[in-house]
Amino acid sequence: MDTFLQQFINGLSLGAIYALIALGYTMVYGVLRLINFAHGDVYMLGAFAGYYLANSLNLDANPSVLGAIVVTIGAMAIAAAIGIVIERFAYRPVRHHSRLTSLITAIGVSLLLEYGGQVVFGATPRFFPQMISSRTYSLGNVQITNQSLMIIVVAVIMMFGLEFIVHRTKIGKAMRAVSFNLPVARLMGINTDFVIAFTFALGSALAAVAGVLVALSIPRIDPLMGLMTGLKAFVAAVLGGIGSIPGAMLGGMLIGLMETWISATAYSTYRDAMAFAVLILILLFRPAGILGTSVTEKV
């Protein structure tokens, strides 16, 4: 029972990371029907942004919660800007081309960020400074680090914040309108370009939070860290129902739990393949995902 609880907490912590990234995928897919392949790399850039910020604030020497918050917000801002730039210069020009053209463009941006990252940051991994001194709490036989706890708590706060924006603000309403029907939303007077840019900014900011949080517990960051994590977060979004925000959260948690569980078994080398297996099963048996709705083509 104790190991189960331990794995459960670890799984939730990992799941929270996936959920934060998955939210970006699902929101962009919701408004543009585009799979933003580059999103995982924005997560990576968020981590690197945090790295440089944390170093400039010398947090390694003086870890502090305030410092961590500043770093996180800074990383969010930088990632949001990057998201807006990517959308404006890479995706908007191809918005009216075929969906496949947009997909290939997204792949191109992803490769650009990865290879570019390797040129700018160097391929060798960096080590994120410890922004908050580590502490482990014990609940009976279960060990929980304060990092795991913080990841879960921060993630939940972010998700509530997102729900608030989407359901209780004007821009959120505009986002929902655009994801229902873009041309009609435009006709209704909504500045769709702004809404789309905002969606990218929001998703990228959340990915940056994930990047900083992950660096807390696994301080090793490198330019290719977004590849696998991004793909798995995408699977999480599809699992929950792509286009659905609660779906992304649920999917993220489930993937995190499944991955943690499989890592503890004899099949841990197949850990990465598991996510793809889940993806395939979902797309074959319930393509709309757990919380999504299916759309049929009019004949």
Partner 1 sequence: MSLGRKLAVIAATVAGLLALNYVFEYGFGDFQINPYYARIINLIGINITLAVSLNLINGLTGQFSIGHAGFMAVGGYTATYLTVYHGRQIAALVGSTPTDPIGGSLVMVPSLLAGAAAAALAGLLVGIPSLRLKGDYLAIVTLGFSEIIRVIILNIPAVGGATGFTDAIPITNFFWIFSMAILTIVVTRNIALSTFGRALFAIRSDEIAAEAMGINTTRNKVMAFVVSAAFAGVAGGLSGQLFANPLNPQNLNFVKSIEVIVMIVLGGIGSITGAVLGATILTILPEALRTFDQQFPGLRMVIYALLLILLMIFRPQGLLGRREFTWAWLRPSKRRPVLG
Residue from 77, 81, 112, 290 that binds partner 1 (CB under 8 A)?
112
Nearby residues of 54 by Cβ (< 8 Å), 6 or more positions away: 60, 67, 71, 128, 129, 131
* d(C-alpha 178, C-alpha 180), whole Å: 5
Instruction: Say whether residue 273 binds partner 1 (CB under 8 A).
Output: yes
Per CB under 8 A, 104 contacts partner 1: yes
CB 45 within 8 A of CB 113: yes
Site for partner 1 in 201-240 (CB under 8 A): 234, 238
By the rule CB under 8 A, 270 interacts with partner 1 = yes
Span of 46-54, 100-108, 130-138, 175-183 interacting with partner 1 by CB under 8 A:
100-108
When asked if residue 161 is in the footprint of partner 1 (CB under 8 A), the reply is: no
Q: What angle do CA 42, 191, 233 make, to 5 degrees?
A: 25
Closer residue to partner 1 (CB): 81 or 283:
283
Closer to partner 1 at the Cβ: 2 or 272? 272
One of 111, 157, 187, 218 touching partner 1 (CB under 8 A): 111
Question: 56 near 125, Cβ under 8 Å?
Answer: no
115 binds partner 1 (CB under 8 A): yes
CA distance 287 to 283: 4
Closest distance between partner 1 and the C-beta of residue 208, in Å? 22
Q: Is 266 in the site for partner 1 (CB under 8 A)?
A: no
Q: Binding segment for partner 1 among 71-79, 105-113, 130-138, 205-213 (CB under 8 A)?
A: 105-113
Q: Please, which residue, 104 or 171, has the CB nearer to partner 1?
A: 104
Alpha helices in the chain (DSSP H): 2-32, 39-56, 65-86, 99-121, 146-168, 170-180, 182-187, 192-217, 225-240, 245-263, 271-285
Residues 6+ apart with CB under 8 A from 125: 220, 221, 222
Applying CB under 8 A, the residues found at the interface with partner 1 are: 33, 35, 90, 93-94, 97-105, 107-109, 111-112, 115-116, 118-119, 123, 234, 238, 269-270, 272-273, 276-277, 279-280, 283-284, 287, 297, 299
